[in-house]
Structure 1
Amino acid sequence: MLPVNGIEMCVETFGEPIDPPLLLLAADASSMDWWDDEFCRRLAAGRRFVIRYDHRDTGRSTSYPAGRPAYSGVDLMYDAIGVLDALRVPAAHLVGFSLGGALAQRIAVHHPSRVLTLTLMSTSVDGTAPGHAPVTVAGPVAVSAGTVTAVVRTVEAPPATDETDWSNRRAAVARMIDEVRARGGPFTPEEPHLRRSAERVFDRSADLAATRLNHRLAGYGPPVRDMLCSIAAPTVVLHGTLDRHITTDHPEELARSIPGARLVWLDGIGHEFPPRAVWTQVLTAILALAT
C-alpha cells in the first residue's frame, strides 16, 4: 500500500528495480488481478521492472461510495503518474488495456517525459468506444498448419441494466465470468481459470458495485485526439481481430494518429486481457519497442 495523491493505492512489482520500469494500466472497473501473474513474470524475465496497481475504486486501493466518486478520469491519469512517483521512477514503458490505453495516451501527451514507450491494447483514440453490440464468439478450436478453425457459438452479453447483486460472491463471480466470455474469443481461458481470477477480484475488492458505477461516472477525461500527433515515444497498437467492443476502424485510426505507431493484429482475440495463446506475440511486441 502506497500513499498516492492523497489516497492509498495497492501496488505490486515483479523483477529487479535496476531494470527498465514497465507500468501496466488495467481497464475500467478492473483491478490489477486481470494482468495474469505469469504474464507479469514473463515480462520481468525480459529484463523489465514490472509494476501493476489497483485503480482507485478497485482491489485494495481507496474506495468511494457507489454513485459518488470523488475523482475524474484526469485523476486516474495522475494516479498512474503518482504510482511512478511513489516508486521514484522518473519514466516508464506504459502498457495500457482499454481505459488503461486511454490513460497512457493522456500521459504521453501531457507528460511526455514520463513515457519511454507506449503499448496500447484493445483501445481507441481517447479510449472511447461505440455502444455494446450483439456478441458472437468462437467455440472449440482446431489448429492445423497455422490455421485457426473455430465453431461459432453465441454468448448472451450481460444486459445494459445492471441488476447483479455485486455484494453476493456467487452472483458477482458468475457475472464477471459471463462478461469475459462474451467479449472473448476462441482463446479465452476456460471457466475454471476465469473463476479463480473472478474470485480473487471479488475477495480483494471493497465494493464491486461502486467499482462498476463510479468508473463509468468518472469517465476517461478530456479528449486528446488533436494532440496525439505530438507523441514521440515509440508506440505499438495491439488489437484483436474479434474485438466487437472496439471495432477495427478504431485501432487503425489510433495508429494513424500517432507518428510512427505500428499496428499489430492479434488473430482470434476479442476484447480481453491477452490470453496465453498470444503471449509470445504480445511480449515480443512490447519488449521489441525499446531495442
Structure 2
Amino acid sequence: MTTTVHVRGVDLGIESFGDHDAPLILLAGGTTMLSWPDALCERLAAGGRRVVRYDLRDSGASTAGDPEAPAYTLRDLAADAAALVGTLGGGPAHLAGIGVAGMVAQVAVLDHPEAFSALTLAGTRPVAPGPVDDDLPDHDQAALGRLFSRPQPDWSDRDEVAEFAAAGAEVLGNDPGAARETAARVWDRTPGDDPQVHAANQLGMVFSRLDCRPRWRERLPGLARPTLVVHGRRDPFFPVGNGEALAREIPGARLLVLEECGTAIGAGAVEEVAEAMLALG
C-alpha cells in the first residue's frame, strides 16, 4: 500500500508491506524508496516484519521544495525518521538506510535512540558528502569520471532517463536492466514535469547542497543498538573500506560484504541481506 504520511510539517511518501501488528522495519530511501528492492521488502515481510519504505524530502511522493537550495538539514531528515516511527506506531523500529540515507540513519539513531531498536547501514560511509577523512577510501575517480562525463539526458524524456540510468549502472557495478526499470518507476513517481525535479529525483542531488554539520563519526562508538553493515565489494562510489570503518567503529556491528554487488542490493543478494536483517531484530 502506497500513501503519504504527514510528519513535522512535511508529507513523506511511504509504502507498506506485511502485517500491521508485526515488528516494524523502516527503510529510508536513498533518496527515493525504490532504492530498496521490492523483493527485499517482500522477503522481510514474509519473515514476520511490518516493512515501511519511504521517500526522503525532495524525492518521490514526499514534499518537494527547491533541491538546489534545501531549507532543511541532515538533522531534519534524521528527525523525520524518528517522527515517522511515532506516527506509524509499533516502535521502536529497526531503521535501515541505503547510500546517502545511511548517513540519515546513523544520525537518527544517535540523536533519537529511543525511536530505534536496531540499525542496518547499506552502501554508506561515516562522514558527510564532500572531502573524505584521510583514513577512508574516497570515490573511485576513474569510475566517477566515466559517470559524470556522459552527456545528460533530456530529463523530461522517460526513455532517455531510463537508458541513462542503465548505462550508469554498469559504472556503479549494478545490473543495467534493474536500473533501467527502477529509473522508469522513479520517473513515473516524480510529481509534475519539471526536468530539474526529474533530475533531482534520479540523481539525489539534494545531498550535494545539504547542511550535514556537525560531524557524527566521533559519536559512533556510543551507538548502542544492534547494527548490520552491508556493503558491495564492487561499489566505486563509497568503496568497501567505508563499510569496514563503520563496522569497526560501531560496537558489536556485523559486516556483510556482498561480493558481486556495487552500490545497489542485487537480486542475487536479497536472501542473504534479508536473513541478516531478520537476525538483527
TM-score, length basis structure 1: 0.83
Match of 2:143 in 1: 135
The alpha-carbon distance between structure 1 residues 98 and 190, as it changes in their structure 2 partners (threshold 3 A), is closer
* Moved segments of 4+, more than 6 Å: none
Aligned partner of 2:198: which letter?
A: L
Indicate yes or no: 2:276 matched with 1:275.
no
Structure 2 counterpart of 1:57: 58
- Contact 1:15 1:50 (8 Å CA) reproduced: yes
- Cα offset, 1:127, TM superposition: 5.1
Q: Deviations over 1:169-210 (max 9, x none)?
A: 2332222222223212xxx4352x432221110011132234
1:205 to 2:190 alignment: yes
One-letter code of the match for 1:288?
A: A
The equivalent of 2:24 in structure 1 is 21
The answer (yes or no) to whether the contact 1:102–1:126 under 8 Å persists in 2 is: yes
Change (3 A) 1:266 1:213: closer
State the partner residue of 1:3.
6
**Aligned residue identity for 1:135:** A
Task: Name the aligned partner's letter for residue 283 of structure 1.
Answer: A
Unaligned runs of 5+ in 1: 137-155
Change (3 A) 1:98 1:213: closer
Number of positions where the alignment pairs a residue of Structure 1 with one of Structure 2: 264
Structure 2 Cα separation of the partners of residues 246 and 195 of structure 1 = 21
Q: Which structure shows the higher helix fraction? A: 2
Q: Are the structure 2 counterparts of residues 41 and 24 from structure 1 closer, same or farther at C-alpha, using a change threshold of 3 Å?
A: same
Of the three residues 160, 170, 191, the one matched with 1:181 is: 170
> How far, CA to CA, are the matches of 1:75 and 1:177 in structure 2?
32
Q: Residue 143 of structure 2 aligns to which amino acid in structure 1?
A: V
In 2 relative to 1, CA 280–223 (structure 1 residues): closer, same or farther, beyond 3 Å?
Answer: same
Between the two proteins, what is the percent identity of the paired residues? 33
SS at match of 2:183: helix
Secondary structure of 1:134 counterpart = helix
CA distance in 2, matches of 1:195, 1:160: 19
1:49-198 aligned at under 5 Å gives the runs 49-126=50-127, 128=129, 130-135=138-143, 157-159=146-148, 163-184=152-173, 188-191=174-177, 193-198=178-183
What CA distance in whole angstroms lies between the structure 1 residues aligned with 2:209 and 2:149? 15
CA contact (8 A) 2:139 2:238 kept: no
Higher alpha-carbon Rg: 1
- Paired residues of 2:227 and 2:252 also in contact (CA < 8 A): yes
Quickly say closer, same or farther: Cα 1:102–1:65, change in 2 above 3 A.
closer
- Contact 1:15/1:45 (8 A) holds in 2: yes
Amino acid at match of 1:5: R
Pick the aligned partner of 1:224 from 213, 216, 220: 216
